[in-house]
Amino acid sequence: MRDEVIYSLKWVAIGKIIGQSIRWITTIFTLRLLFPEDYTIIALGSFFSALLWSVSTGGITSSLIREPNLTDEKQSQFFSFMIIAHLLFFAVMQLTAPLIASFYDNPAIEAVLQVTSFNFLIVLFGIMQQTQLNRNMNFKQLSMIDAFSESVGSLTTVSMAYLDFGFWSIVVGNLVASSLKQVGYLIAERTWYWPSRITSSIKEMVEFAKKASFFGILAHLTANIDIAIAGIVMSNYEVGIYQFAIVVAMIPASKVLPLIRQVAFPAYARIQNDPARQCRYFQKSQRMAYLLFIPVFWGIAACATNAVPLVFGDKWQPAGTVILLYCLSMPFRSGFEMFSPLLKSSGNLNVMISNMFITLIILIPCFYFIGTTPEKMAIAWLVGYSFAYIITTARACNIIGLSLKDKWKNITAPVVAGVAMFAGVFWLGTLLSGSALFSVGILIAQVLTGAIIYLTILYFVNVEFIHELGALVRRKAK
């Protein structure tokens, strides 16, 4: 299992590096070409379409991956369930699009939602093949398909943005990427599935899908309800600035976390009857995650005010402070999401759902009453999520049999090193901002200084973390 997981991670990582390298470059150019108002339309439209996608990807497909006794008959019946669900998603989006656009007084949102909803129909052509590839952990094929599709989609987006298509460049680019993925899945997995009459034999799978879907909705709301509230309490320009900050701040998480979840869920599902082994693997993943998340996110935070106008242009300069504040909470939010594949694979959905309820109850008042500007919304994330993180982490650890002492032990060294790194890098940026150095020189100096501070302090606080990461890379992890 260990070697298979590492092999899978390697190929998923290769695919992500290829695809995301192109996507990051095109994203930078796209952000330079579009304006805050464009991102307001995309942000509000994506919030509602992604709400339904969380049901599809977070609930329905995960039920297939988790099922230990999956027969061809069950797959055919479950495909019928998928078709009904996605047709319903398409209809709901078509019907509610005018109401959503009217609520936010932005007519463009209606057209974006109605066009985007066709993706619910497109994915039906390859969704069973994609699920089977995930279930069998054929991540080499999946990663190559995703890399090619996302690259073509990204190039489509930046080309249309250059031709002044505005927010439509993102909508069309995503549809192109999704369509190419379905073609790739059909080619890679030659097994064809045909819908059949639904019977009671898939009752347990449907029940799990319902619970997992409900959790997916709550997870989406927890991660994105700030955008829905921002559309109410902020101007279109401010929402665009805030959404830009989220896009930039989320780049590492949006690329790395799906990679980890994609491999972790089927891996945990295979050993769902061995809780001790699951917990052992989880602790290792936590150590590695925080070891990487903290320097990346807090490093971005420390450099944000100098880097944003340099990389994306002066029109996005107001987002620098927002990114700084937003990124401070990101290591803990990203780390907590790693509980999801473990708890889902072991069937502990009730804990996941209740944790999301607790988080939402804390965050929504913070967003509404504090988040009246982009900067204050980022502060609301930092304050509200810090409080929710303490409560929900304790509950999740109790379920998987992990003591809080061991949990905090896994992240203490990266946190200490990260705090020192952030302070040093931010101070250096402030000091050099008044010098004669070019912005590029300041950014390079900040990055090098941050790496030196982080690794040096980590070495003296807990050198075992570095050794473990090196062993994992060399495939000698125990």
**pTM of structure:** 0.79
**What is the span of the domain harbouring residue 464?**
250-478
Which whole number is the average pLDDT over 150-175? Answer: 92
Q: Are 234 and 242 a contacting pair, CB within 8 Å?
A: yes
Does residue 412 lie in a domain region? yes
pLDDT tens-digit map of 403-450: 878 778 778 888 999 999 999 999 998 888 766 566 788 889 999 999
* Distance in angstroms (rounded) separating the CA atoms of residues 329 and 297: 9
Does residue 49 lie in a domain region? no
pLDDT at 476 over 50: no
pLDDT score recorded for residue 449? 95
Q: How many CA atoms lie within 13 A of 462 on its CB side?
A: 15
Q: Are 278 and 285 a contacting pair, CB within 8 Å?
A: no
The residue written with tokens 């990679």 in the block is 259
What average pLDDT does the structure give for the chain? 83
* Distance in angstroms (rounded) separating the CA atoms of residues 178 and 181: 5
Does residue 215 lie in a domain region? no
* Distance in angstroms (rounded) separating the CA atoms of residues 91 and 88: 5
Please tell me whether residue 35 adopts helix, strand or coil conformation.
coil
pLDDT score recorded for residue 311? 84
Does residue 221 lie in a domain region? no
DSSP character at residue 372:
S
| Token couple for 250 | 């989320």
pLDDT score recorded for residue 144? 83
Does residue 407 lie in a domain region? yes
| Token couple for 408 | 């905090």
pLDDT tens-digit map of 17-34: 555 566 667 777 887 888
Does residue 296 lie in a domain region? yes
Does residue 300 lie in a domain region? yes
CB-CB neighbours of 456 under 10 Å: 13
Look at the chain and report how many structural domains it folds into.
Answer: 1
pLDDT tens-digit map of 333-355: 887 777 776 776 666 778 888 88
**% the chain with pLDDT above 70:** 85
Does residue 4 lie in a domain region? no
